[in-house]
Amino acid sequence: MSDITRILQDMERGNPQAAEKLPALVYDELRAMAAQKMSREASNHTLQPTALVHEAWLRLGADQQPTWQNRAHFFGAAAEAMRRILISRARRRHALRHGGGQECLNVDDFDIASPDEDDRLLAVNDALDKFAAQEPQKAELVKLRYFAGMTHEEAAQTLGISEPTAKRWWIFSRAWLFNEITPQ
């Protein structure tokens, strides 16, 4: 049993000191998840990994943490919170009042900005919602791998499955999502 799981169980039993220990234990891991995800974002992305972790922490309940069953439950919820934050930001940037997806120009040298990843992120999110209705466990794996940046090993441990199973699910999920996103 991990230290995080023990702290979560202590919190459930009403131990007030446990709630104070949780942020210190999970911050580095959440920051690593956020940094991994942000490394795949467009270079013009303004959200920093630290800000993503802080916003996810607030959405998870901050100091008033809900009852978490275990480490996997907590990090699954954290991955989902990060996913929703990134999707929400992508939708806001694509809103008509924010340019509606128009190309950005660098005023200094009039170079076209790097291709925007927002369209792909929104397409993955929409396809993932459909996939979750059919294959909820595999969709959780996709969230952990794609949105939280976990490795096969980390995601398998979080979901309580073997690493070979995680790899098979990942291959299946990627193919399913690719077919859903690619125009016929």
> Domain ranges in the chain?
3-181
Radius of gyration of the chain (CA): 18
Coil vs helix vs strand at 23: helix
> Could you identify the residue written with the tokens 């125009």?
183
With 90 as the cut, is the pLDDT of residue 15 above it?
A: no
Least confident piece of the model among 70-79, 95-104, 138-147: 95-104
Give the pLDDT confidence score for residue 83 in this predicted structure: 86
For the segment 16-32, the average pLDDT, to the nearest whole number, is 78
With 50 as the cut, is the pLDDT of residue 110 above it?
A: no
Alpha helices in the chain (DSSP H): 3-12, 16-38, 49-60, 71-94, 118-134, 136-142, 152-159, 163-181
CB 148, CB 75: distance < 8 Å: yes
Start-to-end C-alpha separation, the chain: 47
Q: Distance (Å, rounded) from C-alpha 24 to C-alpha 159?
A: 22
Give the pLDDT confidence score for residue 184 in this predicted structure: 66
Q: Distance (Å, rounded) from C-alpha 63 to C-alpha 69?
A: 17
Give the pLDDT confidence score for residue 106 in this predicted structure: 44
Q: Distance (Å, rounded) from C-alpha 143 to C-alpha 137?
A: 10
With 60 as the cut, is the pLDDT of residue 112 above it?
A: no
Most confident region among 12-21, 28-37, 68-77, 170-179 by mean pLDDT: 170-179
Give the pLDDT confidence score for residue 111 in this predicted structure: 33
Least confident piece of the model among 61-65, 83-87, 147-151, 168-172: 61-65
